[in-house]
Chain A
């Protein structure tokens, strides 16, 4: 099984940078995902890491260290619309099973 930890809440100012950490303990590992979920809406895919290192997609970047069981999602140039819950999920060796963390609620203030 998977044990996935991420902070419950974070607050940041518009234009700033926020880093959301995720640690995991797994019996098997086949990739880590980040999803964004606005209140009352579907989670939407942000990023996927399977190798160590940084993946950058515009204002969002995701980092993975498999040896440390650690990932972070970096949100740059924060906008009000980035206020949402960010879900970290790990896929095990059986491919289709995603285990999710409880999510980090990010609030962006003006």
Chain B
């Protein structure tokens, strides 16, 4: 257990559905991140939040919408996704954005039909 939890662990959705991924960290960290991990490809940074403010949006399509209501919770709202969006979505947190170690959650395996 890394202190970062994600729900759901698995999600199957149609292209017209709306769903949300949830991440919660119990480490007292101030920075949280969303990554996308596709098979045989590098982890891709999607969003970075520091003290509940978005500091990075890495050219991610608007069908992905993040929300950070407080420093412990991070959401990724999904709307009208495409099959190529199927991937493992990982949440991570760190003490601050400049801190060395990022702690990852187990991920949500998303399949878009």
Contacts and interface: CB of A to CB of B under 8 A. Distances in A.
Contacts of B48: 96-97
Interface in A37-52: 40-45, 48
Interface string B71-113: 0000000000000000000100010011011111111000000
Nearest to A87: B43
Interface size range of chain B in the complex: 20 to 34
B42 interface: yes
Interface in A45-100: 45, 48, 87, 89, 95-100
Contacts of B41: 102
B45 interface: yes
A31 interface: yes
B56 A101 contact: no
Contacts of A95: 97-98
B101 A99 contact: no
Contacts of B107: 42
B97 A43 contact: no
A41 B103 CA distance: 12
Contacts of A45: 101-103
